[in-house]
Structure 1
Amino acid sequence: MPFFCCDRKRCFRRGSKMKITILGSGTCVPRLERACSALLVEAEGVNILIDCGLGTIHRLLEAGKDPSDIDLLFLTHFHPDHTGELVSLLFSGKYAGKYGRKKSLTLVAGKGLSDFYQGLCGIYGEWVDLSGLLRIKELSLPGDSLWDFNGLKLSFAPACHRPESLAIGVESCGRKMVFTGDTDVCPNLVSFAKGAELFICEAAMPDDMKVPGHLTPSLAGAMAEEAGVRHLVLTHFYPECDEVDMVATAGKTFHGPVTMAEDLMVMDLSSV
């Protein structure tokens, strides 16, 4: 897809607002207050859902969006806490009658997406076949590292978690947000996030409970500091994170504003 060059006059007429809603700030641990990983980005009339873990659909409805409103669904990787409601989203899109999907859905992820979807079809068959309304886009980096989707510039970079793991950047009129997905310390994500206004970064466990494949608040802060981002939002919390001051810990390594994500938290990129 072609590179998107922002038209500043168009931005002035339509506004450059990008609305970001945290739908799920939790992990595989079931919690009422924190659904599994999910993030909604609204800009330029486009609705992008990033990840689709357990609880996503109800959080979408609470945020005023129907699953059929989603134009693009990006999966950072294939772990169940990031993909667990994909089947329900596809199933409801086909069989919800007047509430079902009327427009196409683009499903995007890294290496193995086609096999992942075919595996679901092997179990659920026509129930997850949107009858021509589903487009599968399996990313192959570096060739697909930057592309246009309906006026938004989307960018992707490998994350240090699973072989297929990718971070995503969404840019509208020169303003960019980056979501890491699950990752460990990852130098290429520092380069990827350079200049981002909003850096939504996993910090799964407190500093003294670091586990492979995941970050802690001080490590997330250090990456944000090196990248020179404007605002750091921590997310993807195991319950152990409730026992420490995650924001203060991240503040020891990042000297900008730090926010601890909560489900249904809304951020306007024009004012972060």
Structure 2
Amino acid sequence: MSEAELTVVGCGTVVPEADRAASSYWISSPGTESAARTRVLFDCGPGALQALARLGLPWGKITDLAITHFHADHVGALPGLFFALKHGLPRPRGRPLTVWGPAGTRRFFEKLAGAYGDFVLNPGFSVLIEELSPGEARDLSGGPRLEAHKTPHTDESVAWRLDGESFSFGYTGDTGPSTELGSFMRGVSALVCECSLPDAQATDNHLSPARVAELAAAACPRLLVLTHVYPHLRTGHDVPRLVAEAGYAGATRVATEGLRVSLTNG
């Protein structure tokens, strides 16, 4: 595959559902003359590792891991991922893995290592932990540029934007309403955006269809992918239609496990 692609690994919530793992998204982007292909996993919620295997994704070749915040439905599978990277590959991994996260990520991993074992931080290859403040951007080893933006969800939570030579991708993580977030995501090829609750149950730390419509109208993505939809909203409702009726007319679909979206422009 020579183009950049999004694969939805997990799109669920804290509510266990038989047909979806919790939040996890895989981005594969082409390499350059001086760098290999980049494979980024955004969040790693419960069930993500098994979903990676079901989807045939090369989880052992992950280059970067980007975490939005520390709620269990977004990071619950991390110990299993690192245990598998140490013991579950046919040959030992040598390439470093870079973990990107908000403030507190290093301390979070130190606590994981204290609870589960040294393999979390010392799995037999280098684990590099980089904390990015909102507004800060860094180049990944394969070339794409990763940028963080604060979201109104937890004290540390961030959204991510990833820009390569021929693609762009945005992921809100969990977020409440934010006028700045729409501008931050403007023009991305695909925007994976949470849409947790019905408008009648809207809160300050999650989005509803009307609030998604406001954000998407500012972002104008090529494709809006609705995710983290709680079962009582998703079941029996046409969620893209609710977003359209609230004022956003762009291409929209609900995330499902295995959904693949080309991110390459043109």
TM-score normalized by the length of structure 1: 0.89
Q: Deviations over 1:75-128 (max 9, x none)?
A: 110000000010011111112252553321111100000110111111123232
CA contact (8 A) 1:94 1:127 kept: yes
| TM-aligned CA deviation for residue 197 of structure 1 | 2.1
Task: Say whether 1:104 aligns with 2:104.
Answer: no
Aligned counterpart, 1:71: 63
Q: Deviations over 1:27-84 (max 9, x none)?
A: 0111111210000000021110000000111111122124311110111100000000
Identify the residue that residue 243 of structure 1 maps to in structure 2: 236
In 1, the alpha carbon distance for the partners of 2:128 and 2:262 equals 29
Cα distance in 1 for partners of 2:44, 2:142 equals 21
Q: Aligned pair 1:260/2:251, yes or no?
A: no
Deviations 1:213-257 (A, max 9, x none): 100122112111122222211001111121321010111221111
Letter in 1 for 2:86: K
Unaligned runs of at least 5 residues, structure 2: 31-36
* 1:126-180 alpha-carbon deviations (Å, 9 max, x no partner): 23222342111111343x3343432112222111111111111112224311110
1:147 maps onto 2:127 in alignment: no
Output the amino acid matched with 1:234. L
Cross-structure match for 1:86? 78
- The SS at the match of 2:18 is coil
SS in 1 for 2:12: coil
Structure 1 counterpart SS, 2:90: helix
Q: Verify the 8 A CA contact 1:105 1:135 in the aligned structure 2.
A: yes
Counterpart Cα distance in 2 of 1:75 and 1:145:
14
- Matched residue, 1:28: 14
Mapped partners of 2:207, 2:104: distance in 1:
24
RMSD of equivalent CA atoms: 1.8
Contact map agreement 2:134 2:158 (CA 8 A) in 1:
no
Question: Secondary structure of 1:243's match?
Answer: coil
The 5 Å alignment of 1:2-41 reads: 17-41=3-27
Whether 2:172 is the aligned partner of 1:186: answer: no
Q: Using a 3 Å threshold, how does the CA distance of structure 1 residues 203 and 46 change in structure 2: closer, same or farther?
A: same
Letter in structure 1 aligned against 2:250: G
Separation (CA, whole Å) in 2 of partners of 1:216 and 1:99: 45
Q: How far apart, in 1, do the equivalents of 2:139 and 2:265 lie?
A: 26
> Which runs of no fewer than 5 residues in structure 1 stay unpaired?
1-13
Give the Cα separation in 2 of the matches to 1:135 and 1:245.
Answer: 42
- Counterpart Cα distance in 2 of 1:53 and 1:101: 23
TM-aligned CA distance change 1:132 to 1:271, over 3 Å:
closer
Aligned-residue identity in percent:
30
For residue 271 of structure 1, report the CA deviation from its aligned partner. Answer: 7.0
Structure 1, 71-80 or 237-246: larger mean CA deviation? 237-246
Q: How many aligned residue pairs are there?
A: 257
Provide the rounded CA distance (Å) in 1 between the counterparts of 2:227 and 2:92. 31
Give matches, 1:167-186, under 5 Å.
167-186=159-178
Residue pair 1:210, 1:216 contacting (<8 A) in 2 also: yes
Q: Distance in 2 between matches of 1:204 and 1:213?
A: 10
Name the SS of the counterpart of 1:98 in structure 2: coil
1:133 aligns with 2:126: yes
One-letter amino acid matched to 1:261: A
In the alignment, the residues of structure 1 paired with residue 83 and residue 152 of structure 2 have an alpha-carbon distance, to the nearest angstrom, of: 31
Which segment is superposed worse, 132-141 or 95-104? 95-104
What is the TM-score when the length of structure 2 is the normalising length? 0.90
Equivalent position to 2:212, from 220, 243, 259: 220
Q: Deviations over 1:193-219 (max 9, x none)?
A: 112221110001122222331001221
Match of residue 270 from structure 1: 264
Do the aligned residues in 1 keep the contact of 2:94 with 2:125 (CA within 8 Å)? no
SS in 1 for 2:261: strand
